[in-house]
Amino acid sequence: MPDKNSVPTDQHLQNAIYGTPKINPDEQRKYLGTFRERVGLTINVDQLQQADWTKAFEQELTKSQSEIIFFNGNIDQSQLKPYILAATNAGINFTIKTNPDYHVDGQNLAVVVAAKKAIHVNPIDVAKKYGTPTSDGTTPPQKKSFWQKIFNKN
C-alpha cells in the first residue's frame, strides 16, 4: 500500500517531461525572474530610452534591501551600460536575463532592483518613486504622502 506522503508516479513523470512547476510564472516573467513582493525599483524599456535614471538608480542602490539587480539582456547593452557600472561600483550582484520571454516592448521591464526576501515596497516604478529627472540628470524631491508624514517613512 502506498504511503500517503509519497508523490505519485504520475507526478514524477510529469515533472520529468515538463519540468518542475513554477509558482506564479507570469509574475516571474514580468519581474525578470523574481516575485513582486521582493521588488524595490523597476525601470521599463520606455523609461530607459527616454530619460537618464542613473541618479535615481544609484540612490536606490544605497538602500539595504537592494541586494540583487536583474537586467533585461535583450535590450541593447549600450543602454544598460551606465546601470551595470553603477551596480558594479556599488558592489551589488546583478544578473543579465536573456531569455526570449523577456521582451523589449515599451512597458516591459528593463531593470529590476530586488531583495532576496519579501519587502513589499510601494511604489516601485522609478518615475513614481523618484520623479522625472530634470535636464541636469537630477530628480526633483518628492512630496511625502499623508501616510509617510504620519509614520515618518521615506
Strand partners, 96: 71
How confident is the model over 106-110, as a mean pLDDT? 95
pLDDT reading at 39 higher than 70 = yes
How confident is the model over 4-20, as a mean pLDDT? 75
C-alpha closest to that of 55 among 150, 129, 145: 129
pLDDT band at 139, cuts 50/70/90?
Answer: low
Chain mean pLDDT for the chain: 87
pLDDT band at 16, cuts 50/70/90?
Answer: confident
**Cα separation, 66 vs 115, whole angstroms:** 5
Cell numbers at 50, concatenated: 527616454
Strand partners, 71: 96, 111
Angle at 44 between CA 38 and CA 83, to 5 degrees: 80
pLDDT reading at 135 higher than 70 = no
pLDDT reading at 32 higher than 70 = yes
pLDDT band at 140, cuts 50/70/90?
Answer: low
57-71, 89-103, 123-137: lowest mean pLDDT where? Answer: 123-137
Domain boundaries, the chain: 34-127+139-151
The predicted pLDDT at position 18 comes to: 82
How confident is the model over 29-47, as a mean pLDDT? 96
Q: What is the CATH number of domain 34-127+139-151?
A: 3.30.1330.30
